[in-house]
Amino acid sequence: MLRFLLRRSSGAILILVLISAFTFFMFFAIPQDPAMLACGKNCSPDALAIIHKNLGLDKPVLVQYWNYMYGIFAGRNFDVGHCSAPCFGVSFNNQQMVWDTIKDRFPLTLSLTAGGLIVFLTGGLSAGLIAAAKRGTWLDKVFSGVSLVMSSFQIYFLGPVVLGIFVYSTGWLSKPKYVPFTEDLAKWFMGLLIPWLVMATIFTANYTRIARSSMIEQLQEEHVRAARAKGMGARYVFMRYAWRGSLIPIATLVGMDIAALLGGGMVTELVFSLNGIGRLARDSVVDKDLPTLMGVMLISAAFILIMNVLVDALYAVIDPRVRLA
């Protein structure tokens, strides 16, 4: 297990370096001054000079890339001050350290992901299991039908609808707002309740569908039939044999979704005007704030790679036949 983790992590780090180079050169190798891109349409020579200096654009691109990567591991000095170890540079926009901004925004994204995950995993998996167990009955049809319709909704449509009904028309809930949970647990919960539920509605539908189909597939497997033939109880076989086998596709999906959400559920954050990583990424693109974008990009890619390794390791835990070689 340890060897597997080490080997996969070194591969992941290599891919991260490649992604950083790719993103970096994609922005710097375009036939245009990146400072102009950062500066916008009405750029004054002064602002241009500042950005040039901050970026070290007088040096060759390879040197710039080296400095950037060096900064991530060892820190760098900028005009605005020293940028310590994981240094992702200084924002073009507000001259803040990118790493500080990301640290600032991350708790919201984490809360959003964790809360949503709890709601949609419990809801989706139990609905899927029940539907699979009662396959063909009216209950199954209701669950499948509802999840089909719900999964066709989009957050940017459902979000405003829910806000309109529960916040503006009836006033039962207040507008979503992030309060750090270390500050006030109840306010944190109430502030994020609507985003969690809206996000979970759509995800729940997906998980219901996948849990159901994967359970039904497993229930037709030989080993499940053999266990039943030996006279084991239906419930025991259902939970210990079929359920365990159907966890593999579910684990894959959970891993991908966690990575995507931690890297910024951009639409959710935009719909509910929450200031998390996703909104930061969007704003950095709109404001042409390259260092911030690089930072968010690398962090999101890191989440994807970490989740990939974790899910692969989890396969071996779920299914002993899987060898981590």
Q: Which is nearer to other proteins, 43 or 114 (CB)?
A: 43
Of the candidates 301, 306, 310, 303, the residue with the CA atom closest to the CA atom of residue 21: 301
Q: Which amino acid is at 293?
A: L
Look at residue 137 and give its three-state secondary structure: coil
Residue 79 phi/psi, 5-degree rounding, is: -60, -35
Q: How many residues does the chain have?
A: 325
Q: Which is nearer to other proteins, 77 or 273 (CB)?
A: 273
* 4 interacts with other proteins by CB under 8 A: no
* 160 interacts with other proteins by CB under 8 A: yes
**Quick one: 38 exposed, middle or buried, by C-beta within 10 A (0-12, 13-18, 19+)?**
buried
Site for other proteins in 74-113 (CB under 8 A): none
Please give the C-alpha separations between residue 257 and each of 69, 171, 182, 311, 313, in angstroms, as whole numbers: 28, 32, 26, 12, 17
User: Which range, of 49-57, 107-115, 192-200, 304-312, touches other proteins by CB under 8 A?
Assistant: 304-312
User: Which range, of 24-32, 46-54, 63-71, 191-199, touches other proteins by CB under 8 A?
Assistant: 24-32
- What is the spatial distance between Cα 57 and Cα 290, in angstroms, rounded to a whole number? 13
* 44 interacts with other proteins by CB under 8 A: no
Q: Figure out which of the listed residues 217, 228, 252, 318 binds other proteins, where binding follows CB under 8 A.
A: 217
Q: Figure out which of the listed residues 1, 2, 3, 26 binds other proteins, where binding follows CB under 8 A.
A: 26
Q: Figure out which of the listed residues 6, 49, 118, 148 binds other proteins, where binding follows CB under 8 A.
A: 148
Q: For 205-235, b where at least 16 C-beta lie within 10 A, e where not — what string?
A: bbbbbbbbbbbbebbeeeebeebbeeeeeee
* 157 interacts with other proteins by CB under 8 A: yes
- What is the spatial distance between Cα 12 and Cα 1, in angstroms, rounded to a whole number? 16
Residue 222 Cβ vs other proteins, minimum distance, rounded to whole Å: 14
> Which residues neighbour 108 within 8 Å (Cβ) at sequence distance 6 or greater?
178, 269, 274, 275, 276
- What is the spatial distance between Cα 227 and Cα 220, in angstroms, rounded to a whole number? 12
User: Which range, of 53-61, 85-93, 99-107, 213-221, touches other proteins by CB under 8 A?
Assistant: 213-221
* 121 interacts with other proteins by CB under 8 A: no
Site for other proteins in 222-281 (CB under 8 A): 259-260, 263-264, 266-267, 270-271, 281
Binding site for other proteins (CB under 8 A): 12, 15-16, 18-19, 22-23, 26-27, 30-32, 36-37, 40-41, 148-149, 151-154, 156-157, 159-161, 163-164, 168, 213, 216-217, 220, 259-260, 263-264, 266-267, 270-271, 281-282, 285-286, 288, 293, 296-297, 300-301, 303-305, 308
